């Protein structure tokens, strides 16, 4: 990646990043030698993010991003999905304070996803609206405070009204130290999601809800939890509820 935090002398932020990977195969087939490797086994992501802060000396920021991705999740007995997509976002973020902000804008997303339910080609126009509140003392190792992130996005499908849907995601977490040195911290998290308006087969697989992994349900493989087909493949769902409570104990 390459990043600049004062691009034009007014604290403008620009980040360009790229990554590549050899993707897992969802059919369970293993790569045994170099001769088995196909072009479809490679994927990656190109992303650009630009922020122009304090428009006209106000607390409004202009935020824009562009993303191109080829990915494949899962692999093995969990299945997963494959996708190719591009996404463009632009919006205005208003900062009420250092801890509270709202953001609204427009997004365009186009591509295809393929999983055990079949292939979905899509072109979407979205109007994402986000609310963020973060009073934690440390973004990487919080010991007190509350974090709340909510997003509401209506998507209009350019390929037919039946593929239009309304996506909602809300996640909140709180932290409480039991001693002055924060060697013992209780952490709780609650997340909710819902997709309304389209049938599961018409929703792109990368917009459906999955659980599993360190950021949702610890101890389970990434995106390995969710509705399954008779063959055991996880296909994602149109709703989500996650809850966790843990004790974090500093050893050294």
Beta bridge partners, 171, equal: 149, 191
- Find, among 124, 126, 166, 174, the residue nearest to 149 by Cα: 174
Structure confidence at residue 188 (pLDDT) = 96
SS3 per-residue string spanning 151-190: EEEEEEECCCHHHCEEEEEEEEEEEEECCCCCCEEEEEEE
pLDDT tens-digit readout, 191-225: 999 999 999 999 999 999 999 888 889 888 888 88
- Find, among 143, 141, 139, 136, the residue nearest to 176 by Cα: 143
First vs last Cα of the chain: how many Å apart?
Answer: 33
Helix (H, G, I), strand (E, B) or coil at 204: coil
User: Per-residue confidence of the chain (252 residues) as pLDDT tens digits?
Assistant: 999 999 999 999 999 999 999 887 766 667 777 778 888 889 999 999 999 999 999 999 999 999 999 998 876 567 789 999 999 999 999 999 999 999 999 999 999 999 989 999 999 999 999 999 999 999 889 999 999 999 999 999 999 888 999 999 999 999 999 999 999 999 999 999 999 999 999 999 999 999 988 888 988 888 888 898 988 888 999 999 999 999 999 998
Structure confidence at residue 72 (pLDDT) = 87
pLDDT tens-digit readout, 81-115: 999 999 999 999 999 999 999 999 999 999 999 99
Structure confidence at residue 150 (pLDDT) = 98
Q: What is the pTM of this model?
A: 0.89
Structure confidence at residue 24 (pLDDT) = 77
């Amino acid at each position: 990646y390459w990043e600049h935090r004062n691009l034009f002398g007014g604290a403008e932020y620009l980040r360009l990043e790229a990554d590549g990977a050899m993707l897992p195969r969802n059919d369970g087939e293993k790569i045994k030698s170099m001769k088995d490797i196909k072009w479809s086994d490679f994927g990656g992501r190109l992303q650009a993010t630009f922020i122009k802060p304090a428009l006209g000396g106000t607390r409004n920021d202009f935020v824009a991003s562009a993303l191109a991705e080829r990915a494949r999740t899962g692999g093995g007995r969990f299945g997963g999905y494959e996708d190719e997509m591009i996404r463009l976002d632009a919006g205005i973020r208003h900062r009420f304070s250092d801890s509270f902000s709202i953001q609204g804008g427009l997004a365009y997303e186009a591509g295809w996803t393929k999983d055990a339910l079949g292939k979905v080609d899509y072109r979407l126009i979205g109007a994402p609206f986000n609310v963020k509140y973060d009073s934690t003392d440390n973004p990487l190792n919080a010991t007190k405070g509350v974090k709340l992130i909510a997003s509401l996005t209506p998507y209009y499908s350019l390929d037919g009204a039946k593929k239009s849907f309304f996506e909602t995601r809300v996640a909140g977490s709180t932290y409480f130290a039991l001693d002055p040195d924060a060697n013992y911290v209780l952490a709780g998290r609650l997340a909710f999601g819902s997709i309304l308006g389209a049938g599961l087969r018409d929703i792109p697989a990368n917009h459906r809800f999955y659980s599993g992994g360190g950021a949702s349900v610890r101890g389970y493989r990434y995106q390995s939890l969710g509705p399954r087909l008779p063959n055991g493949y996880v296909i994602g769902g149109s709703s989500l509820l996650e809850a966790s409570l843990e004790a974090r104990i500093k050893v050294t």
